[in-house]
């Protein structure tokens, strides 16, 4: 059966780990359509993985199966799980890496229902299971069997207490919105956890954005609103407040790292 299986990991491209997962999937379902979301997540960084994965997953068809493996606890007591949100299936370690995808689901439907199982049926794993690479030995074969129509219930036992990350959402404190840097992209653009909705009703031209030692006035429409080399604030493609340098690298120029504070002053 043709069905999309996406892969999101921190495995990098150089070791063949992702290739092995694809070999496992195609050995079980030769008609699976495998799509890489990214394999260059920051190693072991569950929170960033959860953020990036949720941003990308929403652009896939509802019947996709998503495999997400950022798994510093591989081989330990952390549970492997499969989860169903509507028609969409997820296979991942139970460490919170699905948190933002679950949040997105909760916000998009009227009556969100979540089904999850702890993966426990070895009939759907590889015969020999390593203690270091469940992406290949558990998650890939489970996703491939799901793509063939194996029901969720067959994979293991129901799970109700899956792990979700503590939300570190941006918040409004009086005249200020306090957020932080959630992601720095390939171009060095600084993506914050301040969602566009938090700016509703405010005069965007008069806002002051403070990050590192810089204060920027106003939120621009597009990179081209600034001159090449100039710093600006705008709305990112994931609909968050973003700080960028036009045709430059903002994170480097401003000396900013993941988790750094960002403050929006709404009244001057």
Considering beta carbons, is residue 33 or 154 the nearer one to its own copies?
Answer: 33
Do residues 55 and 64 lie in contact, with contact meaning Cβ atoms separated by under 8 Å?
no
- Minimum CB–partner distance for residue 79 and its own copies (Å): 13
Using CB atoms within 10 Å of the CB of residue 215, give its burial: 0 to 12 exposed, 13 to 18 middle, 19+ buried. Answer: exposed
Do residues 228 and 18 lie in contact, with contact meaning Cβ atoms separated by under 8 Å?
no
- Minimum CB–partner distance for residue 85 and its own copies (Å): 16
- Here the tokens at position 187 are 């171009």
- Minimum CB–partner distance for residue 141 and its own copies (Å): 10
Considering beta carbons, is residue 64 or 89 the nearer one to its own copies?
Answer: 64
- Minimum CB–partner distance for residue 104 and its own copies (Å): 14
Distance set, CA 197 to CA 45, 193, 202 (Å): 26, 11, 10
Considering beta carbons, is residue 177 or 219 the nearer one to its own copies?
Answer: 219
Do residues 156 and 191 lie in contact, with contact meaning Cβ atoms separated by under 8 Å?
no
Residues that bind its own copies (CB under 8 A): 2, 4, 6, 8, 11-20, 22-24, 26-27, 30, 33-41, 43-44, 52-53, 55-57, 59-61, 64, 72-77, 130-133, 136-137, 183, 185-187, 221-224, 234-237, 239, 242, 246-247
Taking the C-alpha atoms of residue 98 and residue 83, their distance in angstroms, rounded to an integer, is: 9
Number of helices followed by number of strands (H, E) in the chain: 6, 15
Considering beta carbons, is residue 27 or 267 the nearer one to its own copies?
Answer: 27
Considering beta carbons, is residue 75 or 158 the nearer one to its own copies?
Answer: 75
């Amino acid at each position: 059966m043709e069905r999309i299986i996406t892969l999101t990991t921190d495995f990098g491209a150089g070791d063949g780990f992702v290739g092995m997962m694809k070999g496992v999937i195609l050995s079980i379902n030769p008609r699976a359509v495998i799509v890489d979301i990214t394999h260059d997540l920051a190693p072991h960084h569950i929170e960033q993985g959860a953020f990036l994965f949720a941003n990308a997953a929403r652009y896939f068809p509802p019947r996709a199966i998503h495999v997400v493996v950022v798994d510093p606890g591989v081989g330990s007591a952390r549970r492997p799980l499969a989860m169903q949100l509507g028609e969409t299936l997820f296979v991942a370690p139970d460490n919170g890496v699905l948190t933002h995808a679950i949040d997105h689901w909760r916000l998009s439907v009227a009556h969100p229902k979540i089904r999850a199982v702890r993966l426990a049926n070895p009939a759907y794993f590889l015969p020999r299971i390593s203690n270091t690479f469940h992406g290949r030995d558990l998650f890939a074969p489970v996703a491939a069997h799901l793509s063939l129509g194996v029901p969720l219930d067959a994979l293991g036992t129901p799970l109700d207490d899956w792990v979700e990350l503590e939300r570190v959402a941006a918040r409004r404190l009086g005249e200020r919105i306090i957020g932080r840097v959630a992601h720095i992209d390939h171009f060095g653009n600084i993506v914050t956890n301040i969602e566009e909705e938090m700016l509703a009703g405010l005069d965007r031209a008069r806002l002051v954005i403070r990050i590192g030692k810089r204060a920027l006035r106003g939120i621009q429409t597009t990179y081209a609103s600034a001159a090449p080399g100039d710093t600006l604030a705008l709305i990112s493609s994931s609909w968050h407040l973003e700080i960028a340098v036009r045709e430059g690298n903002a994170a480097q120029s401003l000396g900013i790292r993941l988790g750094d504070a960002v403050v929006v002053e709404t009244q001057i």
